[in-house]
Amino acid sequence: MKKKSLCVGVLMGGRSAEREISLLTGQAVCAALTRRGYRVRPIDADARLPWALRSKKVEVAFMALHGRGGEDGTVQGLLEVLGIPYTGSNVRASAIAMDKASTKSILQANGIPMPPGIVLQRDSPKWEPPGGLKWPVVVKPSNEGSTIGVSIVRNAKTWRSALRRAYQYDTKAIVERFIEGREIAIGVMDGKALPAVEIEAPGGFYDYQAKYKKSETRYTCPAPLMQGRLNRLQTLAVEAYHILGCEGAARVDFRLSLQGRPYVLEINTIPGMTERSLLPMAAAQAGLTYDELVERMLKSALHK
């Protein structure tokens, strides 16, 4: 099918806590696909999504959704029922990667290093600090992205407030050791690792404000890493990608300890795709323009 006759639905927005970021991603993707000659249909993924997909005669969907109701396999399942190909990972991989507790369990069982931690339930009577972990710890909801609801807890005084914050977004909270060191992101495209990006956030914590609001956050690509250490990070990223069954583009986030040990934090099956996002930054270092990256992701969906 010639690309100028292909109708691409760019799915964005939705009702998750990451709606604002999703809209930014979707707008950038729409502009890129339009420049590449496709017929583009921006679609806000609300309750009328099935009707919109049919009425707009969408032939392939570009997933620009973030968070619940888009990154968790639900929309992917709908698209499969409707027979519409889509970018990114399948239903199973999307659902697992969205649930950090499930991701942690599966990756650790397969030998992928992750920070030690535990999973707590909101209806559990135990609200005391975990005895097996030393301060500082990270407290985060199991099913959220963009560091929403995440806190670094450095002592028992702020423990309960951090747990309450995480429980605002999910019934499960993950508590894990905070790894002092460097923040590294490795993009993976169709099973191949992209150059590493290092993130240096104000205060050493890459939270929502540092990601989207603070211009002081510094990004370095390629990250200044010794070749052996870079190879290790890229190998782990690709292994984690395959263990979960990811497809298309994904991003694996790491902490690199002060001793140089890598820890996988999470896998993003629908990475941010604004022109300033980490995946386009890594792709540019690999020789792909933003528009070329977007088109490559689209073509990957058509050849699953």
Q: Catalytic amino acids?
A: 18, 146, 212, 251, 253, 266, 268, 272
Residues whose CB falls within 8 Å of the CB of residue 43, separated by 6 or more in sequence, listed in order: 9, 10, 11, 12, 49, 52, 53, 56, 58
Residues 6 or more apart whose CB falls under 8 angstroms from that of 120 comprise 126, 163, 172, 173, 174, 175
65: amino acid identity, one letter = L
Q: What angle do CA 45, 25, 84 make, to 5 degrees?
A: 45
Angstrom distance (rounded) from CA 69 to CA 16:
7
The amino acid sitting at 298 is L
Beta bridge mates, 250: 188
